[in-house]
Amino acid sequence: MSRFFLNKSKKNSYTTGRYAETIAAMYLRCKGYQILARNYKTKVGEIDLIARRRSLICFLEVKKRHNLETASYAISQTQQKRIIHAAEYFLRVNPMYLDFDKRFDAVLIGATVFPYHIKNAWQVH
């Protein structure tokens, strides 16, 4: 949906989310990750960032909230499932990454703190 048609609250959330994803991507690049995709959208779900480091591919959810504790609780199980399905789709259309180690991470951003990278934020069951 075009940002032109979003109400002010949704537009602010969209802008804040994009800003948080940019901060998270810069942070991950500083840690040696290569960003493969941002806002990867499929019919089964969306992934904020997909990053690679050596033979590891990470599917990352970025959450910006007023504090890290609130951000840490913002990723629901339903959202995790959508991200997992989108990751499976990504791997089907990018088979060169099939033999890579895979991980689901989160980057949490609070109002005044440095980004917090949670490795293995959740597992595929």
pLDDT tens string 42-75:
999 999 999 999 999 999 999 887 665 665 667 8
DSSP 73: T
pLDDT value at residue 1: 47
For 20, how many CA atoms within 13 A lie in the half-sphere containing its CB? Answer: 28
pLDDT value at residue 24: 94
For 3-122, give the CATH class. Answer: alpha beta
In this prediction, residue 6 has a pLDDT band, given cuts at 50, 70 and 90, of low
Distance (Å, whole) CA 5 – CA 113: 32
What average pLDDT does the segment 90-114 reach? 91
- 3 burial level (CB within 10 Å; 0-12, 13-18, 19+): exposed
Distance (Å, whole) CA 110 – CA 40: 23
Query: Model's pTM, two decimal places?
Result: 0.85
